[in-house]
Amino acid sequence: MASVTPLFDPARPQSRQTPWDRQELMRLMDLYGRMVAAGEWRDYALSMEKEEARFAAFRRAADRPEITVVKRPALARKQGIYALMGEHGQVLKRGGDLSALLAPIERRLVKLVEA
């Protein structure tokens, strides 16, 4: 007879992760794809931990991340759920809207075209 292995143990509390939802990931991957096409970024990393989720974009795989988008649900009512961090860990922008948070990065993609 086959044995059934439970997916979780009810006696042990589950460790909860802070996930990226589908819309957030689509927004981040869209920006990443456009930055790769422009030759700015080469690699990315995703991290989903108990208190925060991170998306980091790299110029080269061996470097520090050029930007990091951090999602902290605990700060949703205080400073905003999202934070945009620079290469050296400084907070560049905070807010509750991911599109507004990514606007400074998207401005780098806009180029003046001569008529």
Rounded to 5°, angle at Cα 16 from 23 and 81? 45
Could you tell me the pTM of the whole model? 0.78
How are strands ordered across the β-sheet holding 82-85? 43-48, 53-58, 65-71, 82-85, 91-95
pLDDT digits (tens, 9 = 90+) for 77-98: 888 899 999 888 899 999 989 9
Rounded CA separation 32/22 (Å): 15
The mean pLDDT value for 24-52 works out to 92
Whether 65 and 56 have beta carbons less than 8 Å apart is answered as yes
11's tokens: 């006696």
Residue 60 has what DSSP assignment?
S
**13: Cβ–Cβ under 8 A, 6 or more apart, which residues?**
none
pLDDT digits (tens, 9 = 90+) for 44-72: 999 998 899 999 999 887 788 999 999 98
User: Please, what is the average pLDDT of the chain?
Assistant: 85
